[in-house]
A = this chain, B = another copy of it.
Amino acid sequence: MKYKKDTSEKILQSAFEEFEEKGYNGARMQAIADKAGINKALLHYYYKSKDALFQLIIQKAINLFLPNLAKSFNESIDFFTGLEDFIYAYIDFLIQHPRIPGFITREINNNPERILNLFKASGLDIKPLTQKIRKAVNDGLIDDISPEQLIVNVISLSVFPFVSKPIITGIVLNNDKEAYQQFMETRKKEVSRFIIKAIKK
């Protein structure tokens, strides 16, 4: 056996925390080693370089972030139920992983091509979704809206509050950290209601 699984797992976990919090440029190999309870040399024994390690981590983050995106939508029969289920599930996921949106958007702006390639490699395909929306328009269920605009609206309303969490807490909620929890819980219902009212015929 070449690698001790628990050591390599521990490293991955520590690396995830460090990269997620500090970003690629801010992350330190020393900090990852410390968190994992090992030293830098061993880090390089398990993973060739900072860059290689980062690639694994950001890929994991994106694949965690994405599949949830299409699931509920594709399963459900009723359009509005599907939309509602998706928003609930997605905001729930983000409440569990509140740092992922900031992590991914930071790296999008640091290195757009790299991240775009990972998005493409993830196999994400929005075509079924755009068709579902187009069908809902044709069936007279919802107003005439470009599927791309609607998709961006749904993602924006769900994801952006996490990207800007410190500002929302500090400015909008007067620094009340418990209020943020409540705010995001309420938001599941609120975003669903908001979007459905905005598009329903």
Closest to A124 in B: B171
Copies in the complex: 2
Q: Is the interface of A mostly helix, strand, loop or mixed?
A: helix
Q: Does A151 contact B (CB under 8 A)?
A: yes
A116 touches B173 (CB 8 A): no
Note all chain B residues with C-beta closer than 8 A to A166.
108-109, 112-113, 115-116
Q: Please, what's the 1-or-0 string for A142-153, where 1 marks a CB less than 8 Å from any CB in chain B?
A: 010110110111
CB contacts under 8 Å to B, within A71-121, are 99, 102-103, 105-106, 108-110, 112-113, 115-116, 119-120
Note all chain B residues with C-beta closer than 8 A to A160.
152, 155-156, 159-160, 163
| Closest-CB distance, A110 to chain B (whole angstroms) | 6
| Closest-CB distance, A174 to chain B (whole angstroms) | 10
